Structure 1
Amino acid sequence: MALPPNFLEELRLRTPLAPLVQRKTRLTKSGRNWKGCCPFHGEKTPSFYVYDDHFHCFGCGAHGDAISFVMQAEGLGFPEAVERLAGEAGLQIPQATPEAAARERRARDLYGVLEAVEAAFRRRLNLPEGAEALAYLRRRGLTETTIAAFGLGWSGGGRGAIAADLKADGITPAQLAEAGLVREREGGEGYTDLFFNRVIFPIRDRRGRVISFGGRTLGDGQPKYVNGPETSLFSKRRNLYGLDLAKEAAFRGKPVVVVEGYMDVIALHQAGFGGAVAPLGTALTPEQMEELWRLTPEPVLCFDGDAAGGRAAAKAAEAALPLLTMERSLKLATLPQGEDPDTLVARRGPGGFTTVLDGARPLSEALFALLTEGRPASTPEQRAALRHRLAEAANAIPDKTLAAEYRRALLDRFFAASRPQRGGGGPGSSLGRKPPAPPRNRPAITLERTRAAQAAALFAITLRHPWLLAEVEECFAAIDPGDARLAECRDRVLAWLAEGHELDSTRLMDQLAGIGLAELTTGLLRDPGLPEAASADAQPKDVLDAWWHFYGLLRGEAELMEDLASARRDWDAMTTDPVVQARAQQRLIRLTLLLSAQRRGEAAETEEAAPPVG
């Protein structure tokens, strides 16, 4: 009996290829992959490459997956190789029973059934009855190419529509029930459609085969979105929407991004983010994380900027900890409040989502805030409980070296946050309190000193978050910081930006240090009076809001009017490049709001309007 495809897929998933190959030959890292001397023919120069799910020798042509490697390396037949790997992976090999053989035949048939169902749904979308669904997809900004690439369709509005469509192909209601398209009524009298009056989204496995469907109602019915039920081909825990397309994008070096829903994935793919995927109505599972790590060592999880998004991020982070290794982790990105990826790229173009990705933080940086959010730490008992929670989180990581690094990072931040402020102990504490320091003579607060502090805050935000230069480049170039060293720093930053470097703070600081500006830039970032937006873990929206705030303070009404006129000229001369469009539009909006606020006298009323001086 041939083994079920699902079993073989599970076996390959549980058998990391590189460690298996390293039993026979020494491998070294080569980018995301591995290389070494081929174990199947004598060679001195490595030409044997190991990828996530296959190996290939460019010398002798040997090629295959984990099963074929064991067959070639050990001289075993297929059943023996499977038996050995299954034993190591802790999997039970399905028994060769008549029932198992029947299940296998049905599985082969089900792929064909689902393929025919998908074609029927797609046909219906372009018939008069699908006009409303097609209009909905076009209103959401989808092109014909995108609709075709994702195989979007229409279920039909009549009961029994799909069974009637496929009856001529010899597909029975019983087969549709097994494929998850219909459900037998109570009492066994006929079948009920599971997808009715819905836009249809085919769900494919990593090999591109349709395994189920999702549907969105066009009316007010609930639930708005539904997925097909669990079947012999479809498991919500093990699959990701868009995985087949993301696999190809990841191979080309695109970031792998996990978002929430079908339309988010589709909108991002259309905007050029081909590595977007989504879970299927569940929180991200360990099985889905394993799939993500097969694509890239550091996928980005993208969450809403509200409280629910924060809870989802914390849950995903804690679920990932027991699966982390030194070669695979996560990044976490936060969307602006009230936005999802679909609306963000519609309003601000690809550049808007690029900004979100540029602001993604490694799990090691984001974890402290996720674990401490909403947990008070004002009493010894509360601090002890929080410290225990942080240590427990780090201890969940199996690799002891990595766990120790996480524990150190988390506790360092814990102690920094718990450390009493200058002047004594915690609130209400008198024990160990030092006598108050004598008053210092502070320089007088002058207009020049205030402007210098505002310029320093703006430059510190820029150095800490250079990703925002994609939006503010023109305005940053127009700033007169009133200081020759800051002016040189501005010019160097703009020159660095023009060279096309990755917009990374560490790399920018290294570049500036290399040309003699280390003392200036580190001094800017260490100023204790900086706004929160200049901290490394500030949210992208807060960073942009603060930058434009200080920019408005530094420019004044007349200069803002000149900026606005220049922005309008740029808008009138606009190209069709969506990134350029988004930047010009955002600059127009920001400058209009700043000028309006300044004319109303509101520009200096926020808490960050006058940072500490002296």
Structure 2
Amino acid sequence: MSLPPGFLDELRTRTSLSQVVGRKVIWDARKSNQGKGDMWAPCPFHQEKSPSFHVDDRKGFYYCFGCHAKGDALGFIQETENVGFMEAVEILAREAGMPMPARDPQAQQKADRRTQLIEIMEQAVAFYRLQLKTGAASAARDYLSRRGLDPAAQERWMIGFAPPGWQSLRDHLASRGVSDELLIELGLAKRSNNDRPPYDTFRNRILFPIHDARGRPIAFGGRAMDPDDKAKYLNSPETPLFDKGRTLYNFAPAREAAGKAKTLVVAEGYMDVIALSEHGFSATVAPLGTAITPDQLALMWRIADEPVIAMDGDTAGVRAAMRVVDVALPLLQAGKSLRFCLMPEGQDPDDLLKNQGAGAMQKLLEQARPMVDLLWQRETEGGSFDSPERRAALDRNLRSAIGKIQDPFIRAHYGEAIKRMRWSLFNPSRPRPAWQPKGARARVTASVTTRASMLAQGDSRMDEILREQVILAVLLTHPAILPQFEDALERLEFLDPDHGRIAAAMIVHLEADDLRAALEGVVGAAPLEKLFAPRHVSLCPAVRDREDSDIAALCVAEELGKLHAHRGARQEIEEAMRNAEIDGNEGMTWRLGQAAEARNRAERAQTEDRTEFEIGANGARINRGEQRAFDSLLEEISRGKAK
């Protein structure tokens, strides 16, 4: 059976040789470097103890320095599975998720035609490169020089020039026996509407050849020299050789550079790729006039685990980065992700390199942000979340985005990261008061009257800390009620740092099957043991009764209400004290007295008994009014018997 043209190339591109070989060998951990795709193991083809079998995962080849066995993934399967070539192709195709093509009796003829088309493309590249050296291309050479590309760089990138004439390339190739139909099929020419010969697709443009994974020319990208041209950049149309959604500019050289531990950078256009490569960032690719596609992401992840998407620092660049996030989310795998490097506003990589040099670019790449940051920025930037409805809309959008992730473990980690960011957004640190010096706590000297007061002698915050303990202990004992108090827990500012850490971990692990175990993994066991140690916590009915979630919810709601009342009074008193010490007038002294009275009222309100039920000896709830009526009846009966 003959395979269609390009099938084996795509199969090899999608296949990881280290995964294929890894099923038959045990990698040597000391000698292998998985990040670089440089793997070593004892040879599976002959008996040995030392790891002389080498796999270059980036290039897709293996070689044994002992027995000199060599080949690619197909050859390895043939040798180790004892199968024929087509069976090896079928095995790899199944693993790569590629359907085997139907039997095509004309496959060899198509393969020969593909070879013919590539030869014509090579002739076109040579023609355009010669045209760049002519007088008609003087403006193009000046432009390239201004962009920092000397003649040597132009040769390295095989840059050419399409003359302004309508049929320059067509006439040249026709003289060499190339038919008009082949030129049209390759996208090098277009049909005329007035029965004239086809005319050239590219005219008066600087041309950048586009190559396939094996380094063969398959298309062109052209930059217009005429400022009035409708299309500044023009790519070849899709042809039997060129599928723009499955091709990356500079892929073959970038693959080799990434195999030498270079960071894979994804830029926006040809000139960005060339500028970055000329400044040492040789593992750089670019999409071809379209947004990044899933197939292009697969190509990137084939040669690097975490490519860096470098976008221009303008609005269009940011929007393009956000579109990449949507494409990548469903495709994420463990160890396969993206990072994002946004240029300074109004600059592209070429501008940055010219103005600040390679060092500035390297610094930006090192500071590239993970994809979850871009997702959070997209959903929150410029938004206002000052109402429950707006927060609910934010949560809905974030859940929808995270829900696109197919891998459940990655989806869970994204959920935890988003919850931490949400916590930070809705619980910012309290700003430094105007009266407090920066970097230090202000010292306030109390007056004699104030120092003698009960308010100054006692710890006014201890009661709040005790209530924090009860709230957290009850929620930890009854995790089922945690969702209804999530918002209140986020807003609450804890005085005890351990309490704040426990609350944050609760929200992050809201849906954990075993909440206590999840919290121990984050904050440790000691803070949780300390939380339940105080007697007032252990004696709390909602902590002792692990079954009654209704009582637990009532307890938490009541404690939150009391805590807010006490805290409001305390903060008013503290502010009045500071103002009294600073101003020292009778008005502030009066305010201090009023604040103290407000706190007393709050505390009296807290001690009022407003519960409707009591817990009986058997654990049942008894209505307090009914209990009192029953007690009165018993008392009357007792008095009657006494008479």
TM-score (norm 2): 0.64
Unmatched 5+ stretches in structure 2: 432-487, 492-559, 583-643
Find out whether 1:43 has 2:48 as its counterpart.
Answer: yes
Instruction: Call closer, same or farther: CA 1:18–1:408 in 2, change over 3 Å.
Output: same
Find out whether 1:274 has 2:274 as its counterpart.
Answer: no
**Cα distance between partner residues in 1 of 2:182 and 2:209:** 18
The Cα of 1:375 is off from its aligned counterpart by 4.2
- What is the 5 A alignment of 1:143-154? 143-154=150-161
Find out whether 1:15 has 2:23 as its counterpart.
Answer: no
Instruction: Call closer, same or farther: CA 1:372–1:124 in 2, change over 3 Å.
Output: same
- Partner of 2:317 in structure 1? 309
Instruction: Call closer, same or farther: CA 1:374–1:36 in 2, change over 3 Å.
Output: farther
- What is the 5 A alignment of 1:465-544? none
The Cα of 1:288 is off from its aligned counterpart by 1.1
- Partner of 2:254 in structure 1? 246
- What is the 5 A alignment of 1:165-564? 165-186=172-193, 189-219=196-226, 220-419=228-427, 422=430, 432=564, 434-435=567-568, 436-437=571-572, 438-439=574-575
**Cα distance between partner residues in 1 of 2:22 and 2:96:** 17
- Partner of 1:505 in structure 2? none
Q: CA-to-partner distance for each residue in 1:288-314, whole Å, 9 max, x for gaps? A: 111112222111101122332222212
- What is the 5 A alignment of 1:579-594? none
Q: Indicate if the aligned counterparts of 2:5 and 2:107 stay in contact, CA closer than 8 A.
A: no
Instruction: Call closer, same or farther: CA 1:60–1:398 in 2, change over 3 Å.
Output: farther
**Cα distance between partner residues in 2 of 1:319 and 1:69:** 34
SS in 2 for 1:223: coil
**Cα distance between partner residues in 1 of 2:425 and 2:124:** 57
Moved more, 270-279 or 224-233: 270-279
Q: CA-to-partner distance for each residue in 1:119-158, whole Å, 9 max, x for gaps? A: 0000001011111211111121211111011111111111
Instruction: Call closer, same or farther: CA 1:19–1:388 in 2, change over 3 Å.
Output: farther
Moved more, 131-140 or 105-114: 131-140
SS in 2 for 1:237: helix
Instruction: Call closer, same or farther: CA 1:307–1:441 in 2, change over 3 Å.
Output: farther
Please tell me the residue identity of whatever aligns with 1:389. N
Please tell me the residue identity of whatever aligns with 1:15. T
Q: CA-to-partner distance for each residue in 1:57-101, whole Å, 9 max, x for gaps? A: 333222222211211111111112112322443433334435443
Moved more, 433-442 or 232-241: 433-442
SS in 1 for 2:175: helix
Please tell me the residue identity of whatever aligns with 1:325. Q
Q: Indicate if the aligned counterparts of 2:28 and 2:51 stay in contact, CA closer than 8 A.
A: no
The Cα of 1:422 is off from its aligned counterpart by 4.7
Please tell me the residue identity of whatever aligns with 2:12. R
Please tell me the residue identity of whatever aligns with 1:44. K
Query: Could you tell me which of 72, 78, 84 is aligned with 1:77?
Result: 84
Please tell me the residue identity of whatever aligns with 1:23. R
Q: Indicate if the aligned counterparts of 1:180 and 1:231 stay in contact, CA closer than 8 A.
A: yes
The Cα of 1:348 is off from its aligned counterpart by 1.8
Instruction: Call closer, same or farther: CA 1:374–1:60 in 2, change over 3 Å.
Output: farther
SS in 2 for 1:122: helix
Please tell me the residue identity of whatever aligns with 1:103. K
Query: Could you tell me which of 58, 63, 69 is aligned with 2:70?
Result: 63
- Partner of 1:141 in structure 2? 148
Find out whether 1:125 has 2:132 as its counterpart.
Answer: yes
Q: CA-to-partner distance for each residue in 1:483-516, whole Å, 9 max, x for gaps? A: xxxxxxxxxxxxxxxxxxxxxxxxxxxxxxxxxx
Q: Indicate if the aligned counterparts of 2:61 and 2:73 stay in contact, CA closer than 8 A.
A: yes
SS in 2 for 1:319: helix
- Runs (4+) of structure 1 exceeding 6 A deviation are 423-426
Instruction: Call closer, same or farther: CA 1:28–1:297 in 2, change over 3 Å.
Output: farther
Q: Indicate if the aligned counterparts of 2:262 and 2:281 stay in contact, CA closer than 8 A.
A: yes
Identity fraction in percent: 41
**Higher Rg of the two aligned structures:** 2
**Cα distance between partner residues in 1 of 2:425 and 2:293:** 32
Please tell me the residue identity of whatever aligns with 2:16. P
Instruction: Call closer, same or farther: CA 1:421–1:117 in 2, change over 3 Å.
Output: same
Q: CA-to-partner distance for each residue in 1:537-562, whole Å, 9 max, x for gaps? A: xxxxxxxxxxxxxxxxxxxxxxxxxx
Q: Indicate if the aligned counterparts of 2:314 and 2:345 stay in contact, CA closer than 8 A.
A: yes
Q: CA-to-partner distance for each residue in 1:354-380, whole Å, 9 max, x for gaps? A: 232232123344442234334442222
Moved more, 109-118 or 96-105: 96-105
Q: CA-to-partner distance for each residue in 1:443-483, whole Å, 9 max, x for gaps? A: x99xxxxxxxxxxxxxxxxxxxxxxxxxxxxxxxxxxxxxx
Q: Indicate if the aligned counterparts of 1:202 and 1:212 stay in contact, CA closer than 8 A.
A: yes
Find out whether 1:6 has 2:37 as its counterpart.
Answer: no
Find out whether 1:160 has 2:167 as its counterpart.
Answer: yes
The Cα of 1:250 is off from its aligned counterpart by 1.5
SS in 1 for 2:398: helix
The Cα of 1:441 is off from its aligned counterpart by 5.0
Please tell me the residue identity of whatever aligns with 1:274. S
SS in 2 for 1:302: strand
The Cα of 1:227 is off from its aligned counterpart by 0.3
Please tell me the residue identity of whatever aligns with 1:57. C
- Partner of 1:596 in structure 2? none
Q: Indicate if the aligned counterparts of 1:387 and 1:414 stay in contact, CA closer than 8 A.
A: no
**Cα distance between partner residues in 1 of 2:290 and 2:142:** 29
**Cα distance between partner residues in 1 of 2:340 and 2:420:** 21
Please tell me the residue identity of whatever aligns with 1:121. Y
The Cα of 1:28 is off from its aligned counterpart by 6.0
**Cα distance between partner residues in 2 of 1:299 and 1:89:** 21
Q: Indicate if the aligned counterparts of 1:203 and 1:211 stay in contact, CA closer than 8 A.
A: yes
**Cα distance between partner residues in 2 of 1:89 and 1:188:** 47
Unmatched 5+ stretches in structure 1: 446-614
SS in 1 for 2:273: helix
**Cα distance between partner residues in 2 of 1:59 and 1:293:** 31
Please tell me the residue identity of whatever aligns with 1:330. L
- Partner of 1:25 in structure 2? 25
SS in 1 for 2:169: helix
Instruction: Call closer, same or farther: CA 1:325–1:189 in 2, change over 3 Å.
Output: same
The Cα of 1:14 is off from its aligned counterpart by 3.3
Q: CA-to-partner distance for each residue in 1:298-355, whole Å, 9 max, x for gaps? A: 1110112233222221221232122222222221111011111112112222223223
SS in 2 for 1:169: coil
Q: Indicate if the aligned counterparts of 1:395 and 1:407 stay in contact, CA closer than 8 A.
A: no
- Partner of 2:615 in structure 1? none
Q: CA-to-partner distance for each residue in 1:507-534, whole Å, 9 max, x for gaps? A: xxxxxxxxxxxxxxxxxxxxxxxxxxxx
The Cα of 1:111 is off from its aligned counterpart by 0.8
C-alpha RMSD over aligned residues: 2.7
Higher RCO (CA 8 Å, separation ≥ 6 residues): 1
Q: Indicate if the aligned counterparts of 1:94 and 1:100 stay in contact, CA closer than 8 A.
A: no
Instruction: Call closer, same or farther: CA 1:101–1:187 in 2, change over 3 Å.
Output: farther
SS in 1 for 2:221: strand
Query: Could you tell me which of 112, 123, 132 is aligned with 1:116?
Result: 123
Q: Indicate if the aligned counterparts of 1:4 and 1:104 stay in contact, CA closer than 8 A.
A: yes
Please tell me the residue identity of whatever aligns with 2:225. L
